[in-house]
Amino acid sequence: MNTCSPDAGNVALRIDGLRKSYGKVQALDGVSFDIRRGEFFGLLGPNGAGKSTLINIIASLVRADQGSIGVLGHDTVRDWRSARRLIGVVPQELVFDPFFKVLDMLRIQAGYYGCGREAWPWIDELLSRLDLADKRNSPMRALSGGMKRRVLIAQALVHRPPVVILDEPTAGVDVELRRTLWTFMNELHAKGTTVVLTTHYLEEAQDLCERIAIIDKGRVRVIETTPQLLNRHPFRFLRLKLANSGQLPEALRPLVAGEKDGSIELRLERDKHPISGVFAALRAAGLDLEDVHTREPDLEDIFIELTHDHSRPAANGGAR
Ligand SMILES: Nc1ncnc2c1ncn2[C@@H]1O[C@H](COP(=O)(O)OP(=O)(O)OP(=O)(O)O)[C@@H](O)[C@H]1O
Ligand SMILES: [Mg+2]
């Protein structure tokens, strides 16, 4: 699909026909798409969808069975030295040498990319931006989980890569750092860095990402701009609180999407279920309303819809 596209010069990552299996598990089942230069791109999907497998193949940590990856035109197998230099990957797993001190780890990593003392001011800036300055001489084993993740983020950025890939960087990270990290990533993005993010915090993806791919069972289910994705499903939610703890009429029960704190949330298809029809049904049943409001679908609703993972309702019971 990719090789002859007219905007090949605008492509940061070209993922072409990737397949990978672990024994009988088909982790990636033919994945092809491009990520444009300078994009803030979200890679979403349920647990086990294949996101980390894809990222680990891009980072050359895992070998694909089939297919290829190009990073700014450099093939990650044939031209791995150049490709590697162009990407910074924050892996999902916290892997590090427990005895190294934070600063040493970052300087060694810079050296690995051929950067010497000239990288030290940038390392200092990374330590300060990621709130690690007072931990610079701590051994890795003495850091908390969230701090270790910060060091891995700094490590991925040490050689100023034009493409940054973050595999669940905010897992186990406190709210403060999450904000700091996103401000920092937005700054890098504004300067032209391509940022690829996987996260299970869908509101994060909704706020940050310009385009999103949803992967499920090793395949790309959808790849769209965030606004397109949010507008793709013609439904909305209507939350009702019935007066005098009345019972919902039979005809409306199939529309119930969730219940919380005495409120009922109905999922209304725009063409099929006009709000006026709901009110008419309530009136006909002699029911009064105490409270009512509508809500547009957010990324979490779309995600659940697309991955059909109704076994995992939202943590708040579906009514938000
Ligand atoms: N090293 C491995 N050995 C065997 N199976 C693996 C290995 N790595 C991944 N898998 C399997 O491949 C599939 C995809 O896993 P992957 O880690 O890519 O998912 P993911 O989308 O990153 O999930 P999560 O959101 O939980 O991080 C899963 O079924 C997983 O069990
Ligand atoms: Mg993963």
One digit per residue, the tens of pLDDT, for the chain of length 320 reads 444 444 567 999 999 999 999 999 999 999 999 999 999 999 999 999 999 999 999 999 999 999 999 999 999 999 988 999 999 999 988 888 888 999 999 999 999 888 889 999 999 999 999 999 999 999 999 998 888 999 999 999 999 999 999 999 888 788 888 888 899 999 999 999 999 999 988 888 999 999 999 999 999 999 999 999 888 878 889 999 888 767 888 999 999 998 888 889 999 988 889 999 999 999 898 888 888 998 888 888 888 888 865 444 443 434 45
Check: CB of residue 31 under 8 Å from CB of residue 221: no
pTM, to two decimals: 0.84
pLDDT of residue 155: 94
Give the Cα separation of 171 and 148 in Å (integer): 11
Smallest CA separation from ligand 1 atom 24, residue: 47
Burial 98-129 (b: 16+ CB within 10 A, else e): eebebbebbbebbeeeebeeebeebbeebbeb
Environment class of 145 (CB within 10 Å of its CB; exposed 0-12, middle 13-18, buried 19+): exposed
Smallest CA separation from ligand 1 atom 29, residue: 48
**Span between the terminal Cα atoms of the chain, in Å:** 40
Mutation test of ligand 1: which of 53, 56, 200 has the most ligand atoms closer than 8 Å to its C-beta?
53
For the chain, give every domain's residue range: 6-230, 235-305
192 C-alpha to center of ligand 1: Å? 31
pLDDT of residue 94: 82
The answer to whether the CB of 181 is under 6 A from ligand 1 is: no
CATH homologous superfamily for the domain 6-230: P-loop containing nucleotide triphosphate hydrolases (3.40.50.300)
Smallest CA separation from ligand 1 atom 11, residue: 27
The answer to whether the CB of 52 is under 6 A from ligand 1 is: yes
The answer to whether the CB of 53 is under 6 A from ligand 1 is: yes
Give the Cα separation of 67 and 145 in Å (integer): 35
Environment class of 171 (CB within 10 Å of its CB; exposed 0-12, middle 13-18, buried 19+): middle
> 3-state class of 32 per DSSP?
strand
The answer to whether the CB of 25 is under 6 A from ligand 1 is: yes
pLDDT of residue 243: 84
Answer whether CATH 3.60.21 is correct for domain 235-305.
Answer: no
pLDDT of residue 4: 43
> 3-state class of 300 per DSSP?
helix
pLDDT of residue 13: 97
The 8 Å CB, 24+ separation contacts for 140-143 are: 140/96, 140/97, 140/98, 140/99, 140/100, 140/101, 140/102, 140/105, 141/98, 141/99, 143/102
Q: Which residues are 18's β-sheet partners? A: 31
The answer to whether the CB of 27 is under 6 A from ligand 1 is: yes
Annotate 98-121 with DSSP letters as a single string: TTSBHHHHHHHHHHHTT--GGGHH
Give the Cα separation of 313 and 116 in Å (integer): 50
Smallest CA separation from ligand 1 atom 1, residue: 22
> 3-state class of 20 per DSSP?
strand
Provide the H-helix boundaries in the chain: 51-58, 80-86, 102-112, 120-129, 145-157, 175-190, 202-208, 226-231, 275-284, 299-307
